[in-house]
């Protein structure tokens, strides 16, 4: 049985997009989305780390300034790193399956990504 693991998020680029290449020359990008929520009296912000693969997604992110509004559909994946004390720290990040850019004048609703047919 497969667990449902799908997230849909819209937010703003919180820092510059980092684009890297594999040894085979395939590009991938890492970026952080800032999500705003809460109430006017008690605003809240959260930051979500994302990884994006595939030429179309990476090309969409190239040269986009901090603050660019982005919408993504993806899945949560565990990730780990070693902190300064040498301890292994686990985090969650989103592996992006679909990515779109939002214009500032567009409504803040979340459009549904196109549905792909199963390959069988």
| Three-state helix/strand/coil letters over the chain | CCCCCCEEEEEEECCCCEEEECCCCCEEEEEEEEEEEECCCCEEEEEEEEEEECHHHHHHHCCCCCCCEEEEEEEEEEEEEECCCCCEEEEEEEEEEEEEEECCCCCCCCCCCCCCCCCC
pLDDT recorded at residue 56: 86
- Which residues does 101 contact at the CB level (< 8 Å), separation at least 6? 60, 64, 68, 69, 70, 71
Does residue 27 sit within a domain?
Answer: yes
The domain total for the chain is 1
pLDDT recorded at residue 54: 84
Does residue 96 sit within a domain?
Answer: yes
Does residue 93 sit within a domain?
Answer: yes
Q: Which pLDDT band, with edges at 50, 70 and 90, does 38 fall under?
A: confident
Does residue 26 sit within a domain?
Answer: yes
Does residue 59 sit within a domain?
Answer: yes
pLDDT recorded at residue 118: 44
pLDDT recorded at residue 11: 95
Q: What does residue 53 show for φ and ψ, rounded to 5 degrees?
A: -120, 155
Tens digit of pLDDT for each residue in 71-113?
999 999 999 999 999 999 999 999 999 999 987 645 455 455 5
Does residue 108 sit within a domain?
Answer: no
Is 9 within 8 Å of 34 (Cβ atoms)? no
Looking at the predicted structure, is the pLDDT value of residue 40 above 70?
A: yes
Does residue 65 sit within a domain?
Answer: yes
At 27, which CATH number? 2.40.50.140
Tens digit of pLDDT for each residue in 41-79?
999 999 999 999 888 889 999 999 999 999 999 999 999
Alpha carbon distances (Å) from 4 to 7, 34, 101? 10, 24, 25
Is 12 within 8 Å of 34 (Cβ atoms)? yes
Domain membership of residue 63 as a residue range: 7-32+45-102
Does residue 61 sit within a domain?
Answer: yes
């Amino acid at each position: 049985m497969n667990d449902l693991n799908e997230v849909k998020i819209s937010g703003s680029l919180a820092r510059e997009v980092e684009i890297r290449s594999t040894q085979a020359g395939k590009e991938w990008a890492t970026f952080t989305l800032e999500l705003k929520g809460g109430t006017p009296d008690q605003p809240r912000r959260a930051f979500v780390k994302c990884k994006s693969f595939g030429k179309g997604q990476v090309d969409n992110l190239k040269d986009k300034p901090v603050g660019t509004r982005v919408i993504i559909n993806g899945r949560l994946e565990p990730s780990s790193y070693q902190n300064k004390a040498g301890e292994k720290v686990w985090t969650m990040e989103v592996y992006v399956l679909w990515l779109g850019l939002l214009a500032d004048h567009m409504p803040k609703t979340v459009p549904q990504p196109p549905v792909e047919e199963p390959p069988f």
